[in-house]
Amino acid sequence: MLIAPAADTPLAELPAAEDALEDATERALVSAARAQFIGVWEDRNTAGMTHFHVAARGGVPTVTAAVESTGDLERFIVRSSTFTGGELRWKYYVPSTGYTVEMWSREAGPDTMHTSWSNSGGASGEESLVRVAAEHGVPAPRPRR
């Protein structure tokens, strides 16, 4: 499923499922394999500790926001988010650098999401994102030891 905004409409500004009943319905539609991606994920390898917000839209994990959690708190423009064949893929634009970044993941666990990325500047790599909230900003439960 591809979620794409009109030419100048950031994905993050599309209407969100804010009603509690609608949220409960969305969660019920999300399979366990897809639900592992839902939450707020932090990229600790970025200067601003970027947070990626992943919510269920139509039963599909969708990146709805990307924002720095420290520093100048820059908000990035999420251009697209897809979930196909068990892979979450999203693309966002960084206004301060002019770069577009694409990230993708096939694996998310209770605490980490393993991702690959590439940017319009020609760089690429792999990152492990850390879950910092289960969903809607609710802090993630502490891992069991």
Range of the domain at 86: 2-132
Specify if 145 maps to a domain: no
CA distances from residue 118 to 44, 90, 91 in whole angstroms, order as listed: 16, 11, 10
Is 55 inside a domain boundary?
A: yes
Residue type, 114: H
Q: What is the pLDDT of residue 26?
A: 53
Residue 141 lies in a domain: no
Mean pLDDT (the chain, rounded): 81
In a domain, 140, yes or no: no
Give me the number of domains the chain comprises.
1
**pLDDT tens sequence across 23-35:** 555 555 567 778 8
Q: So what's the pLDDT on residue 58?
A: 85
> Has residue 144 been placed in a domain?
no
Q: Is the pLDDT of residue 137 over 60?
A: no
Q: Is residue 137 one of the residues assigned to a domain?
A: no
Output the domain CATH number for residue 36.
2.40.128
- The single-letter code of the amino acid at 93 is Y
> Which residue, among 89, 88, 34, 86, has the nearest Cα to 59 in the 3D structure?
34
Q: Is 138 inside any structural domain?
A: no
Asked if residue 142 belongs to a domain, the reply is no
Sign of CA dihedral 81, 82, 87, 89: negative
Give me the mean pLDDT over the 61-74 stretch.
Answer: 94
